[in-house]
Amino acid sequence: MSSFFHEVYEWCYSIIIALAIALIIHIFFFQPTRVSGESMVPTLHNGEYLIVSKFSHIMNEVPGYGDIVIIDSRVHYPRTWKDDVAEPMNNYMAFFNSKLQTKNIWVKRVIGRPGDKLAFHDGHVWRNGEELQESYIDEPMTYSQKGEITVPEGYVFCMGDNRNHSSDSRFIGPVPVDHVLGHVIW
Q: Is 54 a catalytic residue?
A: no
User: Reduced to 3 DSSP states, what percent helix, strand and coil does the chain have, rounded to the nearest 5?
Assistant: 30, 30, 40
Confidence at residue 1, expressed as pLDDT on a 0 to 100 scale: 60
Q: Name the stretches of the chain with pLDDT < 50.
A: none
Contacts of 174 (CB under 8 A, 6+ apart): 75, 112, 149, 151, 152, 155, 156, 157
* Cα distance between residue 55 and residue 75, in whole Å: 20
Confidence at residue 39, expressed as pLDDT on a 0 to 100 scale: 92
- Residue 4: how many CB atoms within 10 A of its CB? 8
Confidence at residue 26, expressed as pLDDT on a 0 to 100 scale: 81
Segment (H or E) for 130:
strand 130-131
Confidence at residue 177, expressed as pLDDT on a 0 to 100 scale: 96
pLDDT tens-digit series, residues 98-124: 776 677 889 999 999 999 999 999 889
Residue 71 half-sphere exposure, CB side, CA atoms within 13 Å?
30
Residue 105 half-sphere exposure, CB side, CA atoms within 13 Å?
23
Confidence at residue 156, expressed as pLDDT on a 0 to 100 scale: 98
Is beta strand 175-176 parallel, antiparallel or unpaired with respect to 155-159? antiparallel
Segment (H or E) for 134:
none
Q: Is 108 a catalytic residue?
A: yes
How far, in whole angstroms, is CA 131 from its chain's centroid? Answer: 25
Annotated catalytic residue, options 54, 56, 73, 108: 108
* Cα distance between residue 164 and residue 13, in whole Å: 51
Confidence at residue 59, expressed as pLDDT on a 0 to 100 scale: 87
C-alpha gyration radius of the chain: 20
Confidence at residue 132, expressed as pLDDT on a 0 to 100 scale: 94
* Cα distance between residue 173 and residue 108, in whole Å: 13
Annotated catalytic residue, options 39, 56, 166, 169: 39
Confidence at residue 95, expressed as pLDDT on a 0 to 100 scale: 66
Confidence at residue 118, expressed as pLDDT on a 0 to 100 scale: 97
